Amino acid sequence: MTDQAAGGSHRAAPVHTHPDEVSVLTALSALADPVRIQLIRELAGSADWARTCGSFDVPVGKAALSHHLSVLRGAGLVEQRDEGPRRVNRLRRQEFDARFPGLLDLVLRGD
Amino acid sequence: MTDQAAGGSHRAAPVHTHPDEVSVLTALSALADPVRIQLIRELAGSADWARTCGSFDVPVGKAALSHHLSVLRGAGLVEQRDEGPRRVNRLRRQEFDARFPGLLDLVLRGD
């Protein structure tokens, strides 16, 4: 067997969905969660790829955080990549805005 | 005891929330449901107060429909009033658009 996990804490490369492939129902469902809204707001306030998965200030455990980030990937909201042992994140703001104009702005305006 | 229900099939007047009092999380949660999206689309295609609760083409029973309409009222999306034995509905499009610009348009564009 190969040792694909050597040096890393993630088992497999993350699977992504482009916003163009996302339905409005999937997008709304992904956004309709307080933890995921918090993740999006933190990512929006950070440079691309600056945030590791462990850097978010959300009140959930590692497994739940992994699930929330998976939902965000599946809705075209977050892109992830592995850099050695770290998995880093970016908000797909431009692509998502092109698909759902104004939706992220509503989430980010914070009222 | 008074007989408030005389002549009507609804027990109490519906309680409403104005869109200005609705959080973005509540709005997104209300919209992130296929039955509620269908209700909103049907209301958007009808004149105000033209639709009775029984007129919607959704695959749910009466109790579930009542719940969905309650969620929509609570998110400032739907207004209801009783006209004799009938409860009729309108989409609060203008008020909701003022609070969450563009959000209903995304739901109604249908892709």
CATH code (residue A102): 1.10.10.10
pLDDT of residue B6 exceeding 60, the answer is no
Percent of chain B with pLDDT over 70: 89
Q: Considering the domain boundaries, does residue A3 fall inside one? A: no
Q: Answer whether A23 sits within 8 Å of B111, measured CB to CB.
A: yes
* Tens-digit pLDDT profile for residues A27-72: 999 999 999 999 999 999 999 999 999 999 999 999 999 999 999 9
Whole-angstrom Cα distance, residue B37 to residue B43?
A: 10
What is this model's ipTM?
A: 0.87
Judging contacts by C-beta atoms under 8 Å, the chain B residues touching residue A34 are 25
Q: How many domains does chain A divide into? A: 1
Q: Considering the domain boundaries, does residue B48 fall inside one? A: yes
Q: What global pTM score does this model have?
A: 0.88
Q: Considering the domain boundaries, does residue B42 fall inside one? A: yes
Q: Measured between CB atoms, does A65 come within 8 Å of chain B?
A: no
Which residue segment(s) compose the domain that B93 sits in?
19-109
Q: Considering the domain boundaries, does residue A28 fall inside one? A: yes
Q: Measured between CB atoms, does B7 come within 8 Å of chain A?
A: no
Q: Considering the domain boundaries, does residue B65 fall inside one? A: yes
How many angstroms away from the CA of A105 is the closest CA of chain B? 10
Q: Considering the domain boundaries, does residue A83 fall inside one? A: yes
Q: In B30-60, which positions are buried (b, 16+ CB within 10 angstroms) versus exposed (e)?
A: bbbbebbbbbbebbeeeeeeebebeebeeee
How many angstroms away from the CA of A108 is the closest CA of chain B? 10
Report pLDDT for B9.
52
Q: From start to end of B36-77, where are the E strands?
A: 51-52
pLDDT of residue B7 exceeding 70, the answer is no
Nearest-5° angle of CA A55, CA A61, CA A67? 90
Percent of chain A with pLDDT over 70: 89
* Higher pLDDT among residues B2 and B35, named by residue: B35
Q: Considering the domain boundaries, does residue A82 fall inside one? A: yes
Q: What is the mean pLDDT of residues B14-39?
A: 97
Q: Considering the domain boundaries, does residue A7 fall inside one? A: no
